[in-house]
Amino acid sequence: MQLNEMETKKLLDQGMLTRSIIENETAMKKCLMYHEMAKDPAVKGFFKEQAKGLEDVIGYFKKGLNEIQ
């Protein structure tokens, strides 16, 4: 089976976005875990903010993935 350039680009973009979503979900889960483990309120707040930021990034990537499909 032979793919044209646009189909190849679409497959590569889907793979890149899927990988980015997985990596950011993992990072977000780590931030939430560190948030729960932290004793210092400033550290807890920092990791909570980071997790929220990563949640926004994941939403952006998912939106891009939906547009490609």
Q: Between the CA of residue 19 and those of 24, 25, 30, 35, 41, what are the distances in Å?
A: 9, 10, 17, 24, 32
Of 49, 17, 15, 18, the C-alpha closest to 31 is: 49
What span, in angstroms and rounded, lies between the C-alpha atoms of 37 and 8? 44
- Percent of the chain past pLDDT 70, that is, above it, reads 96
Domain residue ranges in the chain: 40-69
What confidence score (pLDDT) does residue 6 get? 86
DSSP code, position 40: S
Q: How many residues does the chain have?
A: 69
At 26-51, the pLDDT tens digits run 999 999 999 999 999 999 999 999 99
What confidence score (pLDDT) does residue 1 get? 57
